[in-house]
Structure 1
Amino acid sequence: MVTTPRTLAFATAAAVLLAVSACTSQAQPAPMPTVSMGCTKDSLPTETAGKLTIATDEPARPPWFVDGKPANGQGFESAVAYAVAEQLGYARDDVTWTRVGSDSAIAPGPKDFDFGIDQFSISEERKQAVDFSAPYHLVRQTVIALKSSKIAGKTALAELRDARLGAQAGTTGHQAITDLVRPKAEPRTYKSHDEATKALRSGRIDGLVVDLPTAFLLTEAETDDAVIVGQLPQVGSPKAFGLLLEKDSPLTGCVSAAVGQLASEGVLNQLEEQWLAQEAGAPELT
């Protein structure tokens, strides 16, 4: 068999995928190998030779992107995408962005991009139709409150123990309240997200615990007078975001290895701190 860049990439991908097969939305990322010699700009069979095509949805919302412009490198997911590209040997000018709706991206079938980034949650069901990289972000539960709430501006878990907190029943948010905050009063539980949100808006609870993407959506687009108090420590089986690729893509292993390298070097944590905690105002509660 003649060895070509494409077959070398397939072999590299297969080897690395063995190391990442345990990475699902129900588990912490496994230790990742460094990016190998086969995972280079010259050897990867991308959509356009020498270029990396990255997809995201329209609009590209903050804090994942800034000003709706993925190519500016600002925002958490834009920064992650460029960091992965750099690990694979692609300069910023080698990266091309394309807009693909989330539903189209996760649907089975060929893709006209190399990988997509758009808060795609890794799940076994989705992995029947598409590939995922190792997780680049594990979603935290987050406390939000009205600006007038007594817990707005608090920075420590201990400062929340006298608060009336609520969450949707059966969610990781409810678990976070009971396991981490341990308030003096039993947390209020609600059958649906809408009921929980109404309780917050009406002042029946001091704070609502939801996942971080929902917290951004509620405070920026749905509730004018709500603010993020902060992110809670990790608890339970967190939702994991991964880069999305075509099913059985020869790029999957190399992209996963690049994500793993960024994780091991602390780069992903640095980007979370910069774009989610500092720039987006979602600090970690200690």
Structure 2
Amino acid sequence: MKVSKAGAVVAVVTLALTATSCGESESDRTISIGIKFDQPGLGLRADGGTFSGFDVDVATYIAKELGYKPEQIEFKQVYSSDRELMLEYNEVQFVAASYSISEKRKEKVDFAGPYFLAHQDLMVRAGEKDIKEAADLNKKRLCSVSGSTSAQNVKDKVAKKADLLELGGYSECVVALQDGVLDAMTTDDTILAGYAAEQQNRGKFKLAGLRMSDEHYGIGVKKGNTDLQKKINAALRKMVQDGSWAAYVKKNFGAAEFHNEPAPKITEGS
């Protein structure tokens, strides 16, 4: 049967439109990523809806390597208590939220990485001279955030006479520290450095430089998703090799004069 040139063009256009309507276009693809919304330097959502922080930069880099543009990323807020559930029920594809790798957590999720080695540390006022180590906290006022074990660990193990002041969040601890209501606060050095690096806090605080624990931050993925785990590990290796990792550290923590560890060796799922 002879087909006219015009008829052939119509057939091609019809097939193209059909394929587009049945399939997912490139612009329709999105990826959901779990981050913290309230941690300066790591994961912070500004009032205008923009995001910043080391974990945000790392997550954006990973998404790019997975084939997603920044506008195709949907950041979702995760809390420490619900990270595993968000992955289990496919609310997010992966979690980048100061997520320390532990054997207990690995029973429920898989990790890529680690991509950062943090330590529990102390933050004090810039002019503080009496607190140089955890034992100096005896008879001092130490901030404890509800649900956190960091300050309690210090009191139980090395400063049993420390006076714990329990507040609702780290931002409240920072204000109380600035106002002289307490003498120190403790959590991961990345979180402390993030607060110290904020514009309004620069020059007001300093980190003691202690290493009271090792916290290996990993990227959480749904249990059994080894394909995604391997792809994320490849992205993390590339991020270190091309200098992006070091640039992200300087960008987010540099103002706090934070002395970070080198990029750790990837051990999970490698």
Structure 2 counterpart of 1:177: none
Q: Which amino acid aligns with 2:258?
A: P
- Counting only pairs closer than 5 Å after superposition, residues 49-198 of structure 1 correspond to structure 2 as 50-57=29-36, 59-68=37-46, 72-107=50-85, 109-150=88-129, 165-166=136-137, 189-190=159-160, 194=164
Match of 1:284, as an amino acid?
Answer: H
Measured in 1, the distance between the counterparts of 2:39 and 2:185 equals 22
Q: Write the distance in 2 (CA, Å) between the matches of 1:123 and 1:69.
A: 33
Which deviates more, 89-98 or 76-85?
89-98
Report if the CA contact (8 A) 1:145-1:206 is conserved: yes
Local SS of the residue matching 2:52: coil
Residue 251 of structure 1 corresponds to which residue in structure 2? Answer: 228
Q: TM-score, normalised by structure 2?
A: 0.57
Change (3 A) 1:125 1:195: same
Aligned to 1:240: 216
Matched residues in 2 for 1:196 and 1:164: separation?
A: 19
The 1:164/1:236 distance shift into structure 2, 3 A limit, reads closer
Structure 2 counterpart SS, 1:261 = helix
The Cα of 1:139 is off from its aligned counterpart by 0.7
Aligned partner of 1:144: which letter? M
Q: How many Å separate the matches in 1 of 2:187 and 2:88?
A: 33
AA of the residue aligned to 2:61 = A
Contact kept? 2:55, 2:96, Cα under 8 Å: yes
Separation in 1, partners of 2:47, 2:58: 14
Aligned mates of 1:268, 1:262 — CA distance in 2: 6
Q: 1:62 to 1:208 in 2, by over 3 A?
A: closer
Q: TM-score, normalised by structure 1?
A: 0.54
Counterpart code for 1:267 = S
Q: Deviations over 1:92-131 (max 9, x none)?
A: 1221223344322223833222111221111111011011
The equivalent of 2:10 in structure 1 is none
Distance in structure 2 (CA, Å) of the matches to 1:83 and 1:257:
11
Match of 2:244 in 1: 267
Structure 1 82/125 Cα, relative in aligned 2: closer, same or farther at 3 Å?
Answer: same
Question: What is the CA deviation profile of residues 173-211 of structure 1, one whole-angstrom value per residue up to 9, with x for unaligned ones?
Answer: 9xxxxxxxxxxxxxx63377827999x97x9x9877753
* 1:13-24 → structure 2 map (5 Å cutoff): none
> Contact 2:43/2:97 (CA < 8 Å) preserved in 1?
no
Where in structure 2 are there 5+ consecutive unaligned residues?
1-26, 143-148, 152-157, 168-172, 261-270
Deviations, residues 218-239 of structure 1 (Å, cap 9, x unaligned): 879xxx9x95313638x58620
Structure 1 residues 138 and 99: CA distance shift in structure 2, 3 A: same
Q: Deviations over 1:120-169 (max 9, x none)?
A: 111111011011110122113444223442489xxxxxxx69x984489x
Q: 1:109 to 1:216 in 2, by over 3 A?
A: same
Partner deviation per Cα, 1:214-258 (whole Å, 9 max, x = no partner): 6369879xxx9x95313638x586201111111112311111221
Does the CA-based 8 Å contact 1:121-1:242 persist in structure 2?
yes
Aligned pairs, number: 205
Secondary structure of the 1:194 match is: strand
RMSD in angstroms over aligned alpha carbons? 4.6
CA distance in 2, matches of 1:128, 1:143: 31
Q: 1:51 to 1:191 in 2, by over 3 A?
A: farther
Displacement after TM superposition at 1:276 (Å): 1.7
Give the ranges of 4+ consecutive aligned residues of structure 1 lying more than 6 Å apart after TM superposition. 195-198, 205-209, 217-220
Whether 2:247 is the aligned partner of 1:277: answer: no
Taking every aligned residue pair, what percent have the same amino acid on both sides? 20
Tell whether the 8 Å contact from 1:230 to 1:284 is kept in structure 2 after alignment. no
Separation in 2, partners of 1:125, 1:55: 20
Q: Indicate the structure with greater strand content.
A: 2
Distance 1:60 1:144, change over 3 A: closer
